Structure 1
Amino acid sequence: MDTKIGIVDLLLVSPALAIFFASLFPIGIKAFRNNKEMALLPTLIWSFMGIAAAMIITISTLGLETTAFSGALIFDGISSWSNLVVLMITAFALLLAKENLATSSHQFAEFVFLTMNATLGMLLLTWSNDLIVTFIAIEIMSLCLYMLIALSREERLSKEAAFKYFILGSFASAVFLYGIAFLFGVGGTTYLNELSKLAPDLMGTNRLFVVGVVLTLAGFFFKVGLVPFHAWSPDVYEGSPTPVTGYMAAGVKVVTFAAILRFVGIRFFNGERSEDLITLIQWVAVGSMLLGNIAAIMQDNLKRMLAYSSISHSGYALVGIIAAGVGHNSLL
């Protein structure tokens, strides 16, 4: 395998580089000015310049299907369109943060830095063709979100929400990594395209491979708040600043479902145990739709209602992934 990094590889990931360097400027200025921040508007404009550059580069690669970094990253329609949506969500979150007292008047440079780097993790997640890269991307995104939640001036609620999210998120990451270990132990690779070739046979002959698939999916399901991994959502959404709540409710779900679609694909629905896997995912979707909608009706807090609504919508999105896999399997 060729492990050399070429100029083409760097050009393909240039949207992430643009986001990263744009995030450094406001917090760098603050560091060199004795902890004195730039004005809000210049900080926002600089951030938008980085987002605009990333969007222009992403639009220019629409229709391109290729890989980079020895196949660890893949660039296709799923990644391009997901990234465009995430970049727009990031722009709206920063714009909303400027007008929100919980974020605009308190460490705005740090807020911009963490939001932009969470977006960097999201971009990397949509590109990932390697489960190790997927894990790293999820951790970059999650660590930034933990700190974003804790930045709010609403000290008690935000700190409590950040702590809950961190503890449960760490547990979910351990489960996800455990699943990757099973998949690597059985398949001998963490590359999704290679696992996809092995999946039809291993799904019917190797129980450890099935366990790995289930544990890895559990890690993904936690990030989008699907039942029964949803308990963190209401408290975290309620305790987070409003811009962060909106950013999490939209951005995290877009990229995580893109990653789920890339992970599950169509090959895991083939094999003797595919029906069991489909049934399991169906029950997760049904449970999420029912619990999310019923619980949302009983809420008197807008953010908690948004959290339960988000759970139900995750269930709807999961139905689409199930239908795509079953439909392709029927054609075969």
Structure 2
Amino acid sequence: MDLERRAWLRGIWETLKEILLQKILTYHLRSSPLVLPSHLEGLNVIVTGATSGIGLHTARELAMAGAHVVMACRNVNAANEIAQQWRQDAYHGRALNVKVMELDLLSLSSVRQFAVEWDQHLKSLHILINNAGILRMGERQECSKDGVEQHLQVNHVAPALLTLLLLPSMLKATTWRVVNVNSVTHHWGMVELRSWKSRIEEHKYSGLKAYGSSKLVHLMFLKALASNLLDQGCNSVQCVAVHPGVVTTNLVPGVQKKTFWRFEPSEGARSVLYCATSNQVVDKMVKGFAYYSSNCKPAKVSPQAAKMEACLDVWEATLSTLDLDINYLRFKLNPSCIRD
């Protein structure tokens, strides 16, 4: 059986397990608040895609817990309206520290501009949550204006660039964490580095496969990032990928009907909030990286992502796609994090 077919069958199995068991395995979380008021006072947090679904609930809970939350979104008008509503809903009239900044992951220039504007604030960044994503099932393949297939750009290349550009701000903080909202569908994916900037034959293109593959390489990139940072002497590395379960969101237009086995967005946000704020996550990390499931416990990555050599290949391909030097970390990061 070839590798692609094995990945497909494994993806089906892992997804079915999630559908059948996620409500049971997370029952104990229903009455357990994962963040508390004032728990995150003084922390700076960026959440991408914070105007709907998991991102909205994640950003709201973090803001209510006292964090300074930046909603990084394409639709700044909608984000400002949401932030205003949060301020009205704040406990006991407490002022929330919420800021809206424009970010369009379909444009790498927008990512770079976002990083420039963030740097102007001269603030440390404590938590970066790469939540925004797209899934376009049943549609023809489309490329961004940067020449990258859209699933790959929005779900991997653009957030990878954002993470790299914001690393100097994160390294200013005593502790910092990157949380990538991943998916159980990464088990469906394949690493096809040569096709990143070339069109697939139309009859071979699948939106679901493209989505799973983009989630797979993004997970592998984060794992390689953690390893490379540790190799450079950055011992404060905290990189976490988390799949939030099968959630009813607007990720797939027209497929938003509630079902008993799907999570509500607020339920999907639980594991993201846990991975962003819990000190226990650090204890489960291996070389600065951990992968968590919807029940807030460590999970197994796909066999492809388990191989560090393959993850480093994804790292190099990502830097190449972004036109960044292979030694980017050594050239750009705080000298105090780099070994002589």
TM-score between both structures, scaled by the size of structure 2? 0.31
Larger-Rg structure: 1
Richer in strand (by share): 2
TM-score between both structures, scaled by the size of structure 1? 0.32
Larger relative CO (CA 8 A, sep 6+): 1 or 2? 2
